[in-house]
Amino acid sequence: MIKIIRLLPIALSLFLTVGCGKDSDNGSLKRIQNVYTTVPGSNSASVTHSYTSSVEEGKSVNVGFKTGGQIKRLTVNEGDYVKKGQIIGYLDDADYRLSVMQLEAQYNQMVSENARLDEMFKRNNVAPNDYEKAKAGLVQMKTQLEMTRNKLAYTKLEAPTSGYVVERFMEEGEMAGAGTPIYRIIDNSGLETTVALPPAIYSRRDEIVGCSGSSPVFGNKSFPLDIISFVPDADNNSLFRLRLKLPASMHGKLLPGMNLSVSLRFTNADSTDIHSLPSRSIFERNGKEYVWVINQSDSTLSAKEIKRTGICDGKNSYVSGLKGDETVVAVGVHHLSDGEKVKVVGDINMLDN
């Protein structure tokens, strides 16, 4: 028992020296961090960048009567689906009908009078100036009649597009002015999505060779997307917007607000400096992003600035600023410092498997 107790300090001393190194400045022992590493992923013939977005309506429109009056009946409610041309509201049209009847009577009378004037003009019994005034008056009356008939037709509100009613602003019995919004309808015949691209990716927009989307609603099965446009003005985060159109096969299946994953596939001829790294290997310092690169000669660390150009999947990012032959610390990057000595214990794949 006495021998065992005497050996304990020696064993403890040996244990403490494992994973430690000698500090060259003061001769004291300094713990050496064990790290897992990775190497930048090489590019293939093409590279895919993925983004998270959501389904958006291609457009939404506020719908109102073209003329004013008292709302007599509204035929649809919020959430209802309407087809283009469907009657979705009525105004009280009594006064408009009376106006049409009055003008029709006046117009018919003027038509008869102009017919008599035609005969008199042929016999030179009407002065040319009076005849022309009568003809102009008939044209004016016809125009006024057509305008009043149009106003009568405008007392019926038609859906300008097919889609869903998302808002109903007014109720039956209220007075509505010409153009006052009654409904807001989203057009689901042109579903879209928008992704925000960093400048490095936006500058490569001409290299996009394919776009696709997927949604958990359909088991993340991929479907094609068509590019509508790039918005050239960057937002407050220095990101550029790309608008994409969903295929017609998704209409009625995907609705505005549903989550969507968008993948952009690029050619790779002029982008040899783009590499993939585990997202957890990247850390931020003073608003910039870095990775820890290990010096192979003395196993010390140095921070290497990179720029993240996109997300290639849930765990990895595409970055620029690396040569591709560096050994990069893959995990635990927030607890390291410049010039620190580390010990490589394995590749990150050992942890993931």
How far apart CA 213 and CA 243 sit, in angstroms, is 13
Tokens, residue 70: 């008292």
pLDDT at 276: 81
Q: How far apart are CA 268 and CA 312, in angstroms?
A: 14
Of the candidates 313, 306, 195, which has an alpha carbon nearest to the alpha carbon of residue 259?
Answer: 195
Q: Of 191, 187, 185, 175, whose CA–CA distance to 76 is shortest?
A: 185
- What pLDDT tens digit does each residue of the chain (353 aa) get? 444 444 434 333 333 334 455 554 454 456 788 999 998 876 554 577 888 999 887 778 899 999 999 999 999 999 898 999 999 999 999 999 999 999 999 999 999 989 888 888 888 888 888 888 989 999 999 999 999 999 999 999 999 988 889 899 999 999 999 999 999 998 766 788 999 998 888 888 888 888 999 988 888 888 999 998 998 888 888 889 999 998 878 877 888 889 999 998 887 544 557 788 888 999 999 989 999 999 989 999 999 999 887 665 557 887 888 888 899 999 889 989 999 999 998 887 766 55
229 and 289 in contact (C-beta within 8 Å)?
no
Closest CA to 121 of 133, 110, 108: 133
Q: Report the alpha-carbon angle 18-22-23, nearest 5.
A: 135
Identify the pLDDT of residue 10.
Answer: 39
pLDDT at 7: 44
| 0.85 surpassed by pTM | no
Do 184 and 59 form a contact (C-beta atoms < 8 A)? no
